[in-house]
Amino acid sequence: MNKKLGIYGSIINGISIFSFALSMIFDFHFGSYLSSMFIALGFILMISSFCYYCKDEYKSAGYTSLIFAAIYVTFILSIYFAQLTSIRLDNLNEQAIQILDYQKFGLFFNYNLLGYGIMALSTFFIGLTIEITNKLDRWLRRLLLIHGVFFISGLIIPMIGLFNSDMQGANWIGTVVLEFWCAYFIPISIFSFLHFKNK
């Protein structure tokens, strides 16, 4: 079961990231929000399976990663569920929209960046647990560890207000950054799938 959950999580994660990338290109907000929720669900399955397979001397790093993954999933599911329900369906006033609508670069946008920053911490700590038995594992470990650097941007960007509703081209810049992230994380999903398949 642990192996299957890791495989299924990797597949869900990879397909969801690909769907997210396509949704961003075609400016399909509903698709990108829904895909993001499934990225989170697939991610928690992956991290739980990595944690299960890690050696005893790496369990602390594995549990730390799992806790960060749970925090990330809580942020992401809350944010995107709100985008798909209350923000999309309710008649909110302008002040509420400014705070809650992801597209306005307000509070929920900042929480989203923090959530993905915490996801990066999760990948860093789980990367520490990967036992290298072949080249694939070596690349997977490197990608997970390097992805941890994204924590810094997820923490700092909201604090300095780099993105705001008055900024010219903010949507375009954001899309390019997210497409880069997708191109980076899809190989992690593929390598994770192969890693669990070889267990």
Provide the pLDDT confidence category of residue 96 given band limits of 50, 70 and 90: confident
pLDDT tens, residue by residue, 41-67 = 999 999 999 999 999 999 999 999 999
> pTM for this one?
0.91
Alpha helices in 128-149 (DSSP H): 135-147
31 token code pair:
């698709």
Place of tokens 């909110």: 92
